[in-house]
A = this chain, B = another copy of it.
Amino acid sequence: MSILVVGSVAFDDVTSPSGTVKNILGGAATYFSLAASYFTQVRVVAVVGEDFTGEHEAVFTRRKIDIRGIEHAPGKTFRWGGNYSDNLNEAKTTFTDLNVFESFHPQIPKEYADTQFLFLANIQPTLQAKVRRSMNGVRLTGCDTMNYWINSARNDLAATLKLVDVLLINDTEVKMLAHETNLPRAAQKVLAMGPQALVIKHGEYGATIFFREGAFGIGRHPFRAPTLPIDEVKDPTGAGDSFAGGFMGYIASQEELNREVLKRALFYGGVMGSFAVERFGTERLQSLTREEIEERFQIFRELTHLE
């Protein structure tokens, strides 16, 4: 089944202990769609400026990503600068130029009307809700957000959470959203806000999925997929979006929609996140093979598998 992602396409300047790069293709929708493209057909709704060239377009089309939903607007593409010199786990933002992204009003092409899997990357919660409401045939909606919206648009975000099936956020965000420092209790509070399942990303330690009682089948307990940095972490940018791409892409590729599928999807999320950080920008995600992905899936599986 095809999956639609709505989010940002950007040009990034990144500095990490491994070096500095400028003007590289990034943005949540870019990382997500490249990661998901190894599992299923991907559609993108985003906005770019006049500086988005055929070369950038080819990064998507070489992975057979459907970019009919990328709107070309007058002006410049969203630009972001981040520095990981002090802390590989969190970027210090050096600049944010929203440019054409400032007035982004996602338009879903009519060719995308039959979309069954939807991912709402980190944009204003009201826009996320509007997109979700406009898509009637969707079977499963995933959603991301960030501390900025949790703090400044809590009511809008709460309304959006009633419309999504799976929320994917990190430890800090879930505790902030729930006003609760104990992780399992914070998870229960967020699930009570709407989603059927909550994926909490723990950075280099993997991710945990918590389920609403009875959601996606029967089971008492949460599930954890561990990760381990295999190679050097060169650039953490896009790790979370690549995680979401692997997670949602795998789900969209399966016939069934149950807990076992979501558990395996959690592992594929970790796998794609771990590939993303091995090179600057989207470089590693552009040239993977399904065999490399399966090999790392097995390594992560064996990492916690008792005989």
Question: Chain A residues in contact with chain B, CB under 8 A?
Answer: 17, 88, 181-184, 202, 204-206, 208, 221-226, 228-230, 232-233, 260, 263-264, 267, 299, 301-307
Contacts and interface: CB of A to CB of B under 8 A. Distances in A.
Given A223-B302, A224-B303, A224-B304, 13 more contacts: A17-B181, A183-B228, A184-B228, A184-B230, A202-B205, A221-B302, A221-B303, A222-B228, A224-B226, A225-B304, A226-B226, A226-B304, A264-B306
A204 B183 contact: yes
B228 A208 contact: yes
A88 B181 contact: yes
Chain multiplicity (copies): 2
Contacts of A224: 226, 228, 303-304
B182 A233 contact: yes
A105 to B, nearest CB: 40
A interface SS class: loop
6 contacts: A182-B229, A184-B229, A221-B299, A224-B303, A226-B226, A263-B306
Contacts of A17: 181
Contacts of A230: 184
A211 to B, nearest CB: 13
Q: Which of A202, A205, A264 has the most CB of B within 10 A?
A: A205
A260 B223 contact: no
A307 B221 contact: no
Given A233-B182, A299-B221, A306 B228 contact: no
Q: Which of A181, A223, A260, A304 has the most CB of B within 10 A?
A: A304
Contact of A306 (B184, B233, B260): B260
Contacts of A263: 306
Nearest to A304: B304
A268 to B, nearest CB: 11
Contacts of A229: 182-184
Contacts of A181: 17, 88
A301 B307 CA distance: 11
A221 B263 CA distance: 22
Contacts of A264: 306
Contact of A205 (B205, B221, B299): B205
